[in-house]
Amino acid sequence: MSEPLAILGVVGLRKEFGPLVAVDDVDFAIPVGGSLAIVGESGSGKTTVARMIVGLERPTAGAIIACGRDRSTPARGAAERRRRGGEVQIVFQDPYSSLDPRQAVTAAIDEVLRLHAADLDADARRARVGELGGLVGLDERQMRARPGALSGGQRQRVAIARALAATPRVIVLDESVAALDVSIQAQVLNLLADVRVATGVSFLLISHDLAVVRQLTEQVIVMQRGRIVERGATAAVLDDPQEPYTQLLRASVPTAGWKPRRRAGAR
Amino acid sequence: MTGIPGLRGTGVVGHLCAAVMVIAAVVALAGSALSPHDANAISLSYSFVGPGGDHLFGFDGNGRDILSRLLVGARTAIAGPSIVVVLSMTVGTTIAVAAAWLGGRFDAISAIILDVLFAFPGILLAVIAAAVFGAGLQAASIALAIAYMPYIARVLRGAALRERAQQYIAALEVQGLAAWVICARHLVPNMIGLVVAQGTILFGFAMVDLAAISFIGLGVQAPQADWGVMVAGGQTGLLQGYPAESLSAGLAIIVVVIAVNVLGERLTERARGGTR
Ligand SMILES: Nc1ncnc2c1ncn2[C@@H]1O[C@H](COP(=O)(O)OP(=O)(O)O)[C@@H](O)[C@H]1O
Ligand SMILES: [Mg+2]
């Protein structure tokens, strides 16, 4: 069996915070077009993995390769920084601090387009901003608003649109819907499933919610105290967990009431 | 509540304070045009003559029209603190943001330098500056700016750190925006409430200090009209029972200082309790 080319891979990833080993020898690869979930109890190192992948935290050891290029050391120069931004994006958990309170939605997205789509003129950018707004289901009035006038779910839609504006190949979703009401969660998850179909973007999904994991990803890794304790196809791992720890996780996690409108990333 | 957007939430008192500051600024800019008489015309026959005609505040010991000197003297009285505020806010904000952003060694080294500067009282630094560069408003203002900068940097560093920790900043980093662009376009504008508030309070302190420096003869030089110079120059009058010059100049200083301090406090409160 030949391995498909990975869009994102990490090898021997490790992060120490002083004496604490937050991430320990983590390996995984997301094939082009595929999506991977990281599950694990709070404090198991999931967010640290995500932050290292997007360059917010520097690995103590190990390699991170996205789109065939190493990103385990800080970007050198503006061009490389911008290129990395165009490869992997992230949507954070907290919808209330992830947008600049002074910036209207259109301005926030336009700023990203100026950086990543420098060839577009003002009219083309305006059209693209509208397109992205439509894609994430924001209306004209919401697009003109500042974050303070938007609900948590609307803000996460903005954060998703802003991430998409960079046309990334991978979006890291770190508990991106966990702070939202269950019914809003379902809407945003449906949106993410649609986005994946529409753009072919890969997700690295971090979630407590195994129902969400099942619907959005094909592969899953289970982390405990910084290490991967189980891995495999999402359905197999969740249906028939081998590790006692994963069994416990499955038993302890309530399933959300989310029903997908259509199958994500059909292939 | 209605009001001027920049002053929202500062109440009627805040608006009154702002009005005082606007009047002071207008007088500072147009004082010589507004003054009814030549502020420097000496006529000893009018020495300490009281109010009369269009000489509303009477004459000082040299027979100069006090009201005219007040109006003309507003320029240096306002310009000095303005220089202090602009200089120390610019440098202080830059250091605060750089320390919060870079952290680590830069933060530690800048903290030590600020601690050393803290040890110098503004007036002392101004005296040294006068000794080295000669007395005058410029040297005194720059010395005060240096002395106040550590306070500003320290207060704003905390605010910069809080803002730095917001996830929208991380999102912009992940987008690939340069650090200085993120700071200039996002981080600093989100601290601007506190920056303005601190600058306003600083203005009051600087005004009092500069008046004191002029009073001891190291700031604005007599016979130029200036509120601090007038407080000092009126001393002989005070002793002889003619307090008009010192009192009126002192009152002008006090009114402006109270206005900027009260407004500054209210703006600070608003910035601290701000939405988020
Ligand atoms: N900047 C940091 N400094 C020190 N310790 C940290 C830092 N970030 C995370 N940690 C620690 O690393 C461990 C993993 O945290 P995290 O990656 O946030 O876990 P998760 O996202 O799975 O809940 C935790 O023990 C956490 O306290
Ligand atoms: Mg986390």
Asked whether residue B36 is domain-assigned, the answer is: no
- The string of pLDDT tens digits covering residues A80-95 is 999 999 999 999 999 9
Asked whether residue B261 is domain-assigned, the answer is: yes
Which of A94, A115, A163 comes nearest B167 by C-beta? A94
Of the pLDDT bands very low, low, confident and very high (cuts 50, 70, 90), residue B275 is very low
- Average of per-residue pLDDT across A143-149: 96
pLDDT the model gives residue B274: 56
Cα(B275)–Cα(A39) distance, integer angstroms: 34
Domains defined along chain A, listed by start: 6-87+168-251 (3.40.50.300), 102-167 (no CATH)
Pairs of residues, one from chain A and one from chain B, whose beta carbons lie less than 8 Å apart = 65
Mean pLDDT of chain A: 91
Of the pLDDT bands very low, low, confident and very high (cuts 50, 70, 90), residue B276 is very low
pLDDT the model gives residue A169: 96
Q: Is the pLDDT of residue A263 over 90?
A: no
Chain B residues lying within 8 Å of A90, measured CB to CB:
170-171, 174
The Cα of B12 is separated from the nearest Cα of chain A by a number of Å equal to 26
Q: Which residues of chain A have a Cβ shorter than 8 Å from any chain B Cβ?
A: 54-56, 75, 78, 81-86, 88-90, 92, 94, 96-103, 111-112, 115-116, 148, 159, 162-163, 166
Least confident of A42-56, A242-256, B191-205: A242-256
Of the pLDDT bands very low, low, confident and very high (cuts 50, 70, 90), residue B9 is confident
pLDDT the model gives residue A204: 98
**Residue B186's closest chain A neighbor by CA?**
A100
Cα(A163)–Cα(A142) distance, integer angstroms: 17
Asked whether residue B208 is domain-assigned, the answer is: yes
pLDDT the model gives residue A147: 96
Beta bridge partners of A15: A23
Of the pLDDT bands very low, low, confident and very high (cuts 50, 70, 90), residue A111 is very high
Q: What total number of domains does chain B contain? A: 1
Cα angle A79, A99, A114; round to 5: 35
Strand, coil or helix: what is A170?
strand
Pocket of ligand 1 (CB under 6 A): A 17, 20, 22, 40, 42-48
- The string of pLDDT tens digits covering residues B22-35 is 999 999 999 888 88
The Cα of A153 is separated from the nearest Cα of chain B by a number of Å equal to 16
Asked whether residue B221 is domain-assigned, the answer is: yes
CA A80 to chain CA mean position, Å: 21
Quick check: B174 and A56 CB within 8 A? yes
Least confident of A1-5, A73-77, A107-111, A124-128: A1-5
Beta bridge partners of A30: A8
Asked whether residue B9 is domain-assigned, the answer is: no
Residue type, B50: G
- The string of pLDDT tens digits covering residues B165-194 is 999 999 999 999 999 999 999 999 999 989
Of the pLDDT bands very low, low, confident and very high (cuts 50, 70, 90), residue B230 is very high
Cα(B60)–Cα(B47) distance, integer angstroms: 6
- The string of pLDDT tens digits covering residues A17-43 is 999 999 999 999 999 999 999 999 899
Enclosing domain of residue B240: 14-21+60-271
Asked whether residue B30 is domain-assigned, the answer is: no
Cα(A229)–Cα(A204) distance, integer angstroms: 18
Cα(B127)–Cα(A222) distance, integer angstroms: 67
CATH code of the domain covering residue B256: 1.10.3720.10
Which of B166, B170, B176 comes nearest A115 by C-beta? B176
Which of A13, A15, A16, A17 should be mutated for ligand 1, with most atoms under 8 A from CB? A17
Q: Supply B171's token pair.
A: 């999102």
Asked whether residue B43 is domain-assigned, the answer is: no
Chain A residues lying within 8 Å of B186, measured CB to CB:
100, 102-103
Asked whether residue B3 is domain-assigned, the answer is: no
pLDDT the model gives residue B122: 86
Q: Supply A255's token pair.
A: 């399933």
- The string of pLDDT tens digits covering residues B44-87 is 899 888 888 888 899 998 899 999 999 999 999 999 999 999 99
Of the pLDDT bands very low, low, confident and very high (cuts 50, 70, 90), residue A267 is very low
